[in-house]
Amino acid sequence: MRNVSLRFWNEVEGQDLTEYSLLLAFVVLASVGIFYVNAGSLAVIWRTSDYIVNQAASQSHAS
């Protein structure tokens, strides 16, 4: 893996690194935006799944 990383680093020119960095920044910002917009829905999903897991755990301890 180290050889692959070194070969990639040595073969990629500065312009390519800049383009990859900008692309990565765009993906990160888009992901943050998606999570920010959908925070309410994600919270509901999290609470629902937490409730279901807790109910399953309490039923397995009761048996």
Condensed to tens digits (0 to 9), the pLDDT of residues 13-39 reads: 666 788 899 999 999 999 999 988 988
pTM above 0.75, yes or no: no
User: pLDDT grade, residue 59 (50/70/90)?
Assistant: confident
- Residue 52 pLDDT more than 90? yes
What is the span of the domain harbouring residue 26? 2-62
Q: Crossing angle of helices 14-37/39-62, nearest 10°?
A: 70
Is 63 in a helix, a strand, or coil?
coil
Q: Is-contact 38 31, C-beta < 8 A?
A: no
- Say what the alpha-carbon torsion angle 28, 29, 33, 35 is, to the nearest 10 degrees: 20
What domain count does the chain have?
A: 1
Distance CA 30, CA 22 (A): 12
